[in-house]
Structure 1
Amino acid sequence: MSFPASGENLELFLSRARMMAAGAVPAYLALLLFLTSEEGWHWSFLVFCVLPPVAAVAGFLGKRDIRPGLAVTALVLAIAPLPLIGGIEALF
């Protein structure tokens, strides 16, 4: 039987955060290739090459060290490139 504050929920959250952060890397690399080939836009190199690998490392460290705060940071960093690209595109 599982309770809301049990360790199983924490384990599930940490596992999902790790997998989402790691799964973001190939997705953003594919988007990077698309943006640079279609648009010739080079701002995506900075955002898509730096943030997703950092998010993946943070996700794995959060799971390994059982640190939910680091796992949340990994999720935020995995999602952050899309609004950043939209904001940078709106500025230029």
Structure 2
Amino acid sequence: MSFPSSGENLEMFLSRARMMSAAALPAYLALMFFFTKEEGWHWSFLVFCVLPPVAAVLGFLGKRDIRPGLAVAALVLALAPLPLIGGLEALF
């Protein structure tokens, strides 16, 4: 019987957080190249070059050190560029 706070669920969460944060990196790099090529928009360098690599590193550290807080931070930083891009587009 599996309980919500068992080590098996924690292992699965840490693995998924690591993989999602690492998989976001190539997707955001492709978006960065698209935005700069099509629109000449230079904010994408800041948003897409800084946050996804930090998220990937935090995801791997969270899995290695078994720290769920780092894994959550990795997931948040992996998803953060999308609202940031939308907000910056609304401002400019």
Partner residue, 2:2:
2
Q: CA deviation at 1:71?
A: 0.3
**Aligned partner letter, 2:62:** G
**Percentage identity across paired residues of the two chains:** 86
Give me the TM-score of the superposition, normalised by structure 1: 0.97
Cα distance in 2, alignment partners of residues 28 and 76 from structure 1: 14
Q: Which SS does the other structure have where 2:5 is aligned?
A: coil
Corresponding residue number in structure 1 for 2:84 = 84
Q: Which amino acid aligns with 1:46?
A: L
Unpaired segments ≥5 residues, structure 1:
none
Deviations 1:50-88 (A, max 9, x none): 000000000000000000001000000000001001111
Q: C-alpha root-mean-square deviation of aligned residues, in Å?
A: 0.6
The number of residues matched between the two structures is: 92
Q: Deviation string for 1:29-61 (max 9, x for gaps)?
A: 000011111101010000000000000000000
Moved over 4 A (4+): none
Question: Structure 2 counterpart of 1:43, which letter?
Answer: W
Other-structure match for 1:29:
29
